[in-house]
Structure 1
Amino acid sequence: MTEERLIATTTINAPANVIFDVLADPRAHAGIDGTGWVRESRDGQRLTGPGQIFRMAMYHDNHPDKHYEMANRVVAYDPPTTIAWEPGQEVSKGALGVDAGNAGDNGNDIVFGGWIWRYDLTPLEPSKTEVRLTYDWSAVPREGRFLDFPPFPSEHLDNSLSNLAALAARTATI
């Protein structure tokens, strides 16, 4: 772990394209998540490129609303080697005195917090891939750090990679 980033790496017995396809399907993200916070895809659409916004239903006991939604923007998309997204939330236009410049579905702004989930896939053999998962909060402004980073134990990344390996293995045999 570096000061503002967690990194976990594992080897998955599946081709990189299969693993990438699992990651590019937000409907699979609840099965990958190791915390239990991610619920389901609100859009049901596969990820197709940088700039795409996809929404996820979330739940956390310590969130003021318990149930909430994250609007994620794809920031890296290079099949089958790299995929990353930046979580954000919709706020009323002009709320918090910011103009995020990203309109949500209902015309509200989407404010991105500055943290990124990134997966880098390196084929080792035709059916074996090294997967590196990075949770990077280095771009979170100091004044925007209303919670401690990371907001979960570092084991979450290892759990997520184990879950991803199981999903990729099932997908590879279909």
Structure 2
Amino acid sequence: MSATLTVAAPAERVFAVLADPATHAAIDGTGWVQEAVERTPLAEEGQIFRMAMYHPNHPDGHYRVANKVHVLDAPRAIGWLTGEEKEDGQLTFGGWFWRYDLVPLGPSETEVTLTYDWTAVPPSIREYLEFPMFGPDHLSNSLKHLADLAVSG
């Protein structure tokens, strides 16, 4: 599933907003992403960053996800796999990822495409999680939130 929006900000500015985990709760818009556990900017593939989450249907309500940067090509693309960290510190990823592709349309405009891909989610996870977890409007709303942050910042 994907959505595209033209943002009235340079690609470098849009990328900087996406690379800052502290902005992710404001971009999300579902209320699930609560806050960044680590606020270090995303700077390299393989980097792990954790987010505090909340979902009323989650068994614990409040929980954490561990994300692994798997695409980082500043200022053109950034993406991460979402998973969890076990009590022993082991990271596992469920097969879905988020990716933003940025295409400069000039010095002050950027076309941003947000992709949410769950095609690699194994049947064992699909038994208890339904994909997609939300409708396509969520992606469009997230892009609007991103645009607001990039333009105001």
State the TM-score, normalizing by the size of structure 1.
0.85
Matches of 1:15 and 1:34, distance apart in 2:
23
AA aligned to 1:120 is D
Matches of 2:143 and 2:18, distance apart in 1:
11
Higher radius of gyration, 1 or 2: 1
SS of residue paired to 1:113: strand
Matches of 2:143 and 2:129, distance apart in 1:
24
| Number of the residue aligned with 2:98 | 117
State the 1:51 CA deviation: 0.2
Kindly indicate whether the alpha-carbon contact (under 8 Å) linking 1:34 and 1:157 is maintained by their aligned counterparts in 2: no
| Number of the residue aligned with 1:80 | 75
| Number of the residue aligned with 1:153 | 135
Given candidates 7, 23, 33, the residue that maps to 1:28 is 23
**1:27-106 aligned within 5 A:** 27-92=22-87
Given candidates 115, 121, 129, the residue that maps to 1:134 is 115
State the 1:147 CA deviation: 1.1
Matches of 1:48 and 1:139, distance apart in 2:
25
State the 1:148 CA deviation: 1.0
State the 1:44 CA deviation: 1.1
SS of residue paired to 1:65: coil
Matches of 2:125 and 2:61, distance apart in 1:
21
Given candidates 89, 103, 107, the residue that maps to 1:108 is 89
**1:4-15 aligned within 5 A:** 6-15=1-10
Per-residue Cα deviation, 1:2-58 (whole angstroms, up to 9, x for no partner): xxxx10001000000000000000000001002110011101110011000000000
The sequence identity of aligned pairs, in percent, is 57
SS of residue paired to 2:95: coil
Instruction: Give me the CA root mean square deviation.
Output: 0.8
Per-residue Cα deviation, 1:57-82 (whole angstroms, up to 9, x for no partner): 00000000000000000000000000
Matched pairs, number:
152
SS of residue paired to 1:114: strand
Q: Which ranges of 4 or more aligned residues in structure 1 deviate by more than 6 Å?
A: none
State the 1:144 CA deviation: 2.0
AA aligned to 1:153 is G
